[in-house]
A = this chain, B = another copy of it.
Amino acid sequence: MTVGLGRSQRAGIRQVADRAGVSVSSVSRVLTSHPDVSARMRKRVLEAVEQLGYEPDWLAQSMRRGATLTVGFVVGDISNPLFAQIALGAEVSLQREGYSMLLANSQNQPVLDARHIRLFQQRRVDGLLLSLASENHTETLEALAGLETPIVLIDRDLPPAVAASAVLSDHQSGMRAAAASLIELGHRRIGMITGSIDLRPSREREAALRAVCAEHPEVGAVVRPGSFTAAHGAAATAELLDGADPPTALVAGGNQILIGVLRELRARGLSVPSDISLVSCDEVPLSELYDPPIATIVRDPFRIGQRAAELLLGRLRGDQPHHAVLPSMFAPGRSCGPPR
């Protein structure tokens, strides 16, 4: 142990070399496990390292090696449990391979996406994990164009000019099953509240619903895109319910949207499923325990994060960009019943 050696300022490789009576390059070689090192040399150096409590300076190492073992994660809002779990999955996987994760919240503002991408770039991250606030923001696309830093997109579609890997959720299969289930129950007017149409999940969910409806001419779908917020969830619910020919079933296209929908339904004193049926996309912690349990199109966010990290690590090892598709599944719940 080094305790008690006093506030001997942080020792450098020079001090280690002196104490071991060898050159700095020998110390470096021992520490980087260079093959051509005698056992005796290794021993002496490691002893000196131990005695001085030497730890290599990460900045100097990074500068020399040209790699920082750091990955940047840009996310709209880490306080959304969905993204928090993705972040967890990614961080744990990256950690295991020696990478650290820088986290930046864009607060769902495309401008901040771009700013953070540039910042991370300047900080020389080895790779980027991106859950962007918009797929069309010019500034973001410019910041991304020509980046040689490997990128993994999380559930986003970007022009092929951006050579990126991606982890994509197959929203459609889950949504198809949900819609089919509602139709089976007898619903003929389905309302759907989605987030920004600039974002893949909203588009995919809408497309799946429309595809199912196209197979059932007797069924009508009304879609209200907006943003992935409780506020939009509540406002759109009110709109749909107050409109002509209100839907008998509602699909909340996001976990924040779900919260808004439930608020509005409660404010109106409407019961689920007797007054209206409800399906959510993505969970919040209590949706399983809600009364009635909420039918939900689920996916495994921890796995998404893991997979994103794997794709990034792959690229860092020289793999080509790759797209991975992860499933979604409809988990039925008592929040769905026949229309009243």
The size bracket of the interface on A is 35 or more
For window 72-100 of A, CB contacts with B under 8 Å fall at: 73, 77-81, 84-85, 87-88, 91-92, 95, 100
Residues on B with C-beta less than 8 A from A269 are: none
Question: Which residue of chain B has its CB nearest to the CB of A62?
Answer: B59
> Does A137 reach chain B (CB closer than 8 Å)?
no
> Does A32 reach chain B (CB closer than 8 Å)?
no
Alpha-carbon distance between A287 and B262 when the two chains are bound, in angstroms = 12
For window 260-288 of A, CB contacts with B under 8 Å fall at: 262-263, 266, 284-287
> Does A167 reach chain B (CB closer than 8 Å)?
no
Residues on B with C-beta less than 8 A from A103 are: 73, 87, 91, 101-103
Q: Do residues B104 and A95 form an inter-chain contact, with CB atoms below 8 A?
A: yes
Q: Do residues A88 and B100 form an inter-chain contact, with CB atoms below 8 A?
A: no
Alpha-carbon distance between A103 and B73 when the two chains are bound, in angstroms = 10
How many copies of the shown chain assemble into the complex? Answer: 2
For window 277-305 of A, CB contacts with B under 8 Å fall at: 284-287, 289-291, 302
Picked from B80, B88, B142, B287, the residue with its CB within 8 Å of the CB of A286 is B287
Residues on B with C-beta less than 8 A from A302 are: 79
User: Most B CB atoms within 10 A — which of A60, A104, A285?
Assistant: A285
Picked from B68, B104, B122, the residue with its CB within 8 Å of the CB of A91 is B104
Residues on B with C-beta less than 8 A from A284 are: 284-286
> Does A136 reach chain B (CB closer than 8 Å)?
no
Alpha-carbon distance between A91 and B76 when the two chains are bound, in angstroms = 12
Question: Which residue of chain B has its CB nearest to the CB of A265?
Answer: B289
Residues on B with C-beta less than 8 A from A73 are: 103
Question: Which residue of chain B has its CB nearest to the CB of A59?
Answer: B63
Question: Which residue of chain B has its CB nearest to the CB of A118?
Answer: B55
Q: Do residues A291 and B289 form an inter-chain contact, with CB atoms below 8 A?
A: no
Picked from B7, B58, B81, B104, the residue with its CB within 8 Å of the CB of A100 is B104
Picked from B58, B63, B105, B287, the residue with its CB within 8 Å of the CB of A60 is B63
Alpha-carbon distance between A84 and B82 when the two chains are bound, in angstroms = 11
Residues on B with C-beta less than 8 A from A290 are: 286, 289-291
Residues on B with C-beta less than 8 A from A100 are: 102, 104, 119, 123
CB of A70 to closest CB in B, whole Å = 8
Alpha-carbon distance between A100 and B92 when the two chains are bound, in angstroms = 19
Q: Do residues A107 and B84 form an inter-chain contact, with CB atoms below 8 A?
A: no
Alpha-carbon distance between A266 and B293 when the two chains are bound, in angstroms = 11
> Does A124 reach chain B (CB closer than 8 Å)?
yes
Q: Do residues A122 and B285 form an inter-chain contact, with CB atoms below 8 A?
A: no
> Does A57 reach chain B (CB closer than 8 Å)?
yes
Question: Which residue of chain B has its CB nearest to the CB of A69?
Answer: B123
Alpha-carbon distance between A68 and B58 when the two chains are bound, in angstroms = 11
22 A-B pairs within 8 Å (CB atoms) are namely A3-B145, A3-B146, A56-B122, A57-B124, A63-B63, A78-B78, A78-B84, A78-B87, A79-B81, A79-B84, A79-B87, A79-B88, A91-B103, A92-B107, A95-B104, A95-B105, A100-B102, A100-B104, A100-B123, A103-B103, A266-B289, A284-B285
Identify 11 new A-B residue pairs, CB closer than 8 A, beyond the known A59-B63, A80-B84.
A3-B145, A59-B59, A78-B84, A78-B91, A79-B88, A91-B103, A100-B119, A259-B286, A284-B286, A285-B286, A286-B286
